[in-house]
Chain A
Amino acid sequence: MADPVEQQIHRDPALFYWILLPITVVMILTGILRHYLSTLLQTTPKKQPLAKIREQRSLLRAQNLRGNHQQISKSSFERRKEVFIEGVKEGRFLADPENRGKPRANPMSDPAMMEGMMGMMKGNVAMMVPQSLIMGWINAFFSGYVIMKLPFPLTPQFKQMLQAGVGTRDLDVRWVSSLSWYFLTLFGLQPVYNFILGNNNAASMATQQMAQAQMGQNPMGGQEDPDKIFNAEIENLEVIDHRYILDGVEDRLLAKLGATL
């Protein structure tokens, strides 16, 4: 069977100089611009009051006690558990013991919460506005051009990805349209930014998306009542069946060393 005839398209070399290069350069420049813009717009995270830190870390300590209780003897564990339960009942760990049991205020009225959301909005705007502008620009001036040929063959599934804006069914998948080149650079310039701006730059999409995913489960819903969380932790602690890691450690050690000696 003869090899399929390779498609030949004669491209104007000007396509390279006036479309491929400009798109690439503009994409890199916007990335750098975005980096500096978001550095400018970034608000330094507000310092938490001491009582709040104490509340969070006390909870963390109880969780540590639950997770690593094997490390300490049963009497030490029971003693810590009792002190914790007593403290929670008295509300000793809470940031503001006066508001205990009252329903939480609407998070929208909380200025600290609003500030956090504003910061998020700013980041998103810095991200979205340039992207939509550039996409409009490319659509208006360069849509429908086939600007380059990839040096390797691909399966037809890539057709949608590589030939956006070109409605030709029989064109070989290796030809890339200008709009697709825009998308490729949008997602693929990460290493270039890393090279230019250092490792923790704000230009990359991926990190932005990650930051969004980490924003907590429900930024609008506010936090849960800390008193409830503490009480749930008490229940967790009370069901623990204590096991001491030093129980039988000498036999374990002898068995282990006996094998290697």
Chain B
Amino acid sequence: MSLALLEPPTNANPQTALTLSQKAPTFYKSQASWSLPYPLSLFVNNESQEKWQAYENIFLACLRTGDNQSAYLYLEELTDRFGKENERVTALRGLYAEATANTAKELEYVMKHYEEILVEAPSVFAIRKRRVALLRSLGRTAEAIGALTNLVDTSPTDAEAWSELADLYLSQGSYDQAIFSLEEVLLVMPNAWNIHAKLGEVIYLSANAKEAGPEQLKALSESMRRFCRSIELCDDYLRGYYGLQLTTSRLLGALQTTKKSQQVASDPVAGDLAPPSIDAVKKLNEVATAKLAEIVRKGTAGEKGWDGYSASELIAARELLDRGTQQIQR
């Protein structure tokens, strides 16, 4: 069984999801199992976790690409095997109902169904998450945040929920809350380089919102250090280098304008770190620019081992580099 079938397609790019969903009918036929008459059937087993994992993934891919008929076929198989009461199956059924709902009224109906389930069994986290996602897609962000804070209160080690919460807060511009949520994710998964970079991004945004001065300088250097950590964990992470380039350029300006006396010195009680030295920032900027140029060059050419970057991120990186050279020319 190919690897693509075993990975949830929610993070895959549209191309992969499409090929996966196009494979759906043939895969379904290939899985149509032969079986022996009753007493002999006890001796054969064509069950495997991989099979059901693949079923679920193809189901999700079909929903993403709008192939609702195939999706329904797979959903029925899953329901037959695990029963309607199964938590995962209920969530998948809800997902199907959400995807096939045409009017706002139908969506409301799905929501009501979720709430009914939750009244009976409040510990079904899959449905609680579906409800939050539905609230968010209906545009009721405040309610979604409320439901999600409730969820992370009962299950504070759920990294997925925390990062979704961070995203929601970020969309509302509440940077401090978003930073807090992302820190929670890091406490659960300390080596997630994408979360380190994401945290750097949020801190950078919050720094933009602040007035120029020691506070902003502090936030900028914190953000730069997050990107550094992200790159330290993952050598070729484009977003990490992008952020590093961006923050170091900003920092160079800020460090030069802020007077030495205004800079907050390292305070051992509060545990704040001193702002980085100009030399280090300069060097980091050079390194980031060079590496970013390399990634853009090789990634656009599609060289072997460099073809995993998403096209839009490459374009954004190129734009950032162009902006930098223009400034130098001026």
Query: Given that A49-B123, A50-B154, A58-B156 are contacting pairs, would A253 and B187 also be in contact in the complex, using a CB cutoff of 8 Å?
Result: no
A4 lies within 8 A of chain B by Cβ: no
- Measured CB to CB, the closest approach of chain A to B216, in angstroms, equals 17
A251–B48 CA distance with the chains assembled, in angstroms = 49
- Measured CB to CB, the closest approach of chain A to B243, in angstroms, equals 13
A interface bracket (residues with beta carbon within 8 Å of B): 35 or more
Query: Given that A47-B123, A50-B122, A250-B225 are contacting pairs, would A196 and B45 also be in contact in the complex, using a CB cutoff of 8 Å?
Result: yes
**Residue interface bits B267-301, CB-to-A below 8 A is 1, else 0:** 00011110010001101100100110000000000
- Choice from B121, B232, B272 contacting A47 with Cβ under 8 Å: B121
- Of A11-19, A72-80, A225-233, the one contacting chain B is A72-80
- Measured CB to CB, the closest approach of chain A to B130, in angstroms, equals 17
- Of A114-122, A159-167, A169-177, A240-248, the one contacting chain B is A240-248
A87–B48 CA distance with the chains assembled, in angstroms = 44
Residues of B within 8 A of A61 (CB): 156-157, 187
Residues of B within 8 A of A251 (CB): 280
Check if B273 sits within 8 Å of A71, measured CB to CB. no
Check if A32 sits within 8 Å of B43, measured CB to CB. yes
**Residue interface bits A33-77, CB-to-B below 8 A is 1, else 0:** 000100000000001111001100110110011011111111110
Check if B225 sits within 8 Å of A249, measured CB to CB. yes
- Choice from B156, B272, B276 contacting A57 with Cβ under 8 Å: B156
Check if B187 sits within 8 Å of A71, measured CB to CB. yes
Residues of B within 8 A of A50 (CB): 122-123, 154
Check if A72 sits within 8 Å of B48, measured CB to CB. no
A102 lies within 8 A of chain B by Cβ: no
Check if A250 sits within 8 Å of B186, measured CB to CB. no
Check if A198 sits within 8 Å of B284, measured CB to CB. no
Residues of B within 8 A of A85 (CB): none
Interface residues of A, Cβ cutoff 8 Å to B: 32, 36, 47-50, 53-54, 57-58, 60-61, 64-65, 67-76, 78, 196-201, 242, 244-247, 249-254, 256-257, 261
B98 lies within 8 A of chain A by Cβ: no
Query: Given that A61-B157, A64-B157, A73-B272 are contacting pairs, would A253 and B186 also be in contact in the complex, using a CB cutoff of 8 Å?
Result: no
Query: Given that A64-B188, A198-B45 are contacting pairs, would A250 and B273 also be in contact in the complex, using a CB cutoff of 8 Å?
Result: no
Residues of A within 8 A of B232 (CB): 249, 252-253, 256
Check if A68 sits within 8 Å of B276, measured CB to CB. no
Query: Given that A71-B186, A73-B272 are contacting pairs, would A246 and B157 also be in contact in the complex, using a CB cutoff of 8 Å?
Result: no
Query: Given that A49-B123, A57-B155, A249-B232 are contacting pairs, would A254 and B270 also be in contact in the complex, using a CB cutoff of 8 Å?
Result: no
Check if B121 sits within 8 Å of A254, measured CB to CB. no
Residues of B within 8 A of A74 (CB): 270-272
Residues of B within 8 A of A71 (CB): 183, 186-187, 190
Check if A196 sits within 8 Å of B187, measured CB to CB. no
B47 lies within 8 A of chain A by Cβ: yes
Residues of B within 8 A of A196 (CB): 43-45
- Measured CB to CB, the closest approach of chain B to A87, in angstroms, equals 11
**Residue interface bits B142-155, CB-to-A below 8 A is 1, else 0:** 00000000000111
Query: Which 9 A/B pairs are nearest by Cβ-Cβ distance?
Result: A74-B271, A246-B225, A61-B156, A68-B190, A71-B186, A198-B45, A249-B228, A54-B154, A253-B228
B interface bracket (residues with beta carbon within 8 Å of A): 35 or more
B224 lies within 8 A of chain A by Cβ: yes
- Choice from B153, B273, B281 contacting A246 with Cβ under 8 Å: B273
Interface residues of B in 25-54 (CB under 8 A from A): 42-45, 47-49
Residues of A within 8 A of B183 (CB): 71-72, 76
- Measured CB to CB, the closest approach of chain B to A230, in angstroms, equals 14
Check if B271 sits within 8 Å of A75, measured CB to CB. yes
- Choice from B155, B187, B271, B290 contacting A53 with Cβ under 8 Å: B155
Query: Given that A53-B154, A71-B186, A253-B232 are contacting pairs, would A247 and B273 also be in contact in the complex, using a CB cutoff of 8 Å?
Result: yes
- Measured CB to CB, the closest approach of chain A to B90, in angstroms, equals 14
A32–B44 CA distance with the chains assembled, in angstroms = 10
- Measured CB to CB, the closest approach of chain B to A77, in angstroms, equals 8
A257–B47 CA distance with the chains assembled, in angstroms = 49
- Measured CB to CB, the closest approach of chain B to A60, in angstroms, equals 5
Check if B229 sits within 8 Å of A246, measured CB to CB. yes
With CB as the reference atom, state the residue of chain A lying closest to B121. A47
A60–B159 CA distance with the chains assembled, in angstroms = 13
Check if A250 sits within 8 Å of B280, measured CB to CB. yes
Check if A68 sits within 8 Å of B186, measured CB to CB. yes
With CB as the reference atom, state the residue of chain B lying closest to A78. B271
B222 lies within 8 A of chain A by Cβ: yes
Check if A250 sits within 8 Å of B287, measured CB to CB. no
